Amino acid sequence: MKADLETLKTIPIASPQIGDEEKSAVMAVLDSGQLAQGPVVETFEREFAAWCGVKRAVAVNSGTAALHLLMLAHGIGEGDEVITSPFTFVASANAALFAGARPVFVDIEPQTYCLDPALVEAAITPKTKAIMPIDLYGHPAAIHELQEIATRHGLVLIEDACQAHGAAIGNRKAGALGVSASFSFYPTKNMTTAEGGMVTTDDDAVAEKVTVLRQHGATQRYRHEVLGYNFRLTDIAAAIGRAQLAKLDRLNERRRRNASVLDEGLAGLKGVTTPRERQGYRHVYHQYTVRIARDRDRFQERLLDAGIGTAVHYPIPVHRQPLYIDLGYGDVSLPVAEDAAAQVLSLPVHPALSDADLDRIVETVRKVASTA
């Protein structure tokens, strides 16, 4: 009877790992009386920079704010173009819009779902200022190939690492692969601060600009040199972040192990393509995203009926969003991204899955695939 009830419980697609460490760290901040940006944010920044392998880390209150300030810190503005992927969360491209620039979408690689370096050069114009790849699902984009193109054309490479805490190419971590990068600490990400974000960079000037812009353009107290924002992180959030960072490597190992169990269980299954980890790259499986050859939405419904929570990242590529159609992107055609949007399905891979959960996911996916 108990086992029956257990199997009725839906396995969620995400499960933030909050324990006693996070709770007591938050209570300590609440007791300290210093709640907004203060010493805990500073410590979190130092620890994150050291962990990531970069010179500087600057905390902000979302991944979106990190991308927005990176655009401004790199001098991207009105009339500029930013080459990026259409297959991402809308925040990536919106960051260019916030700065008054125009995102130019280039199609993705079908295997990694990241920006395809082979297609980038044809999209470069005299207005292009930056290339912004996204390390989608926790797999680094082909940053070395993209950096080579950026260098050749005098462009800056900004890495959207919002889904890739702990991913790597060789022994360089995501966030340290381009000139500068953004992270998000939204609850579904590999580590969280509830809401929060981080800019990482080896460029002191970029770090200084982001630091000023997140605080109303203040270079000292009540002296405002430029138009800035209130994008500060709180010490409450940073306290959660420090506790999460201390567990991140272990949580990522768990995700990788879960992914390998799913890989093995789903290997050779007709109509279901498992994710790929490029050689020399480290995938941290923010999402474990498979491709369903036929009728993805029905497949998803049947999984949910059997108690497997899934999600589609993302059902509408950015250039097909109503906002972007209004902005004049209606004629843009990017077939690889459009096919992916129709076929991808993310299965649970989060660190809280038990061996029984993994077995159930594999069994159910196999059953649904065999009767599709």
Ligand X SMILES: *Cc1c(COP(=O)(O)O)cnc(C)c1O
User: Residue 144: which of 154, 130, 129, 159 has the closest Cα?
Assistant: 159
Beta carbon nearer to ligand X, 99 or 162: 162
Beta carbon nearer to ligand X, 349 or 368: 349
How many whole angstroms separate alpha carbon 37 and alpha carbon 72? 21
Shortest CB 65 distance to ligand X, Å: 7
Beta carbon nearer to ligand X, 80 or 160: 160
Amino acid at 209: K
Residue pair 318/88 in contact by the 8 Å Cβ criterion = yes
Beta carbon nearer to ligand X, 184 or 364: 184
Beta carbon nearer to ligand X, 69 or 358: 69
How many whole angstroms separate alpha carbon 22 and alpha carbon 145? 39
Q: What is the CA radius of gyration of the chain?
A: 21
Shortest CB 136 distance to ligand X, Å: 7
Shortest CB 356 distance to ligand X, Å: 29
Residues that bind ligand X (CB under 6 A): 62-64, 88-89, 91-92, 134, 160, 162-163, 184, 186, 197
What is the C-alpha end-to-end distance of the chain, expressed in Å? 30
For residue 353, the number of C-alpha atoms closer than 13 Å in the C-beta half-sphere is 31
Beta carbon nearer to ligand X, 194 or 352: 194
Shortest CB 182 distance to ligand X, Å: 7
Shortest CB 178 distance to ligand X, Å: 14
> In the complex, which residue's CB is closest to ligand X?
63
Q: How remote is the C-alpha of 264 from its chain's centroid? A: 25
Beta carbon nearer to ligand X, 63 or 317: 63
Shortest CB 9 distance to ligand X, Å: 27
Q: How far is residue 43 from each of residues 5, 11, 37, 194, 242, measured CA to CA in Å?
A: 45, 36, 11, 18, 8
Q: How far is residue 30 from each of residues 73, 96, 237, 358, measured CA to CA in Å?
A: 33, 36, 11, 38
How many whole angstroms separate alpha carbon 21 and alpha carbon 200? 25
Shortest CB 238 distance to ligand X, Å: 15
Phi, psi of 276 (to 5 degrees): -120, 140
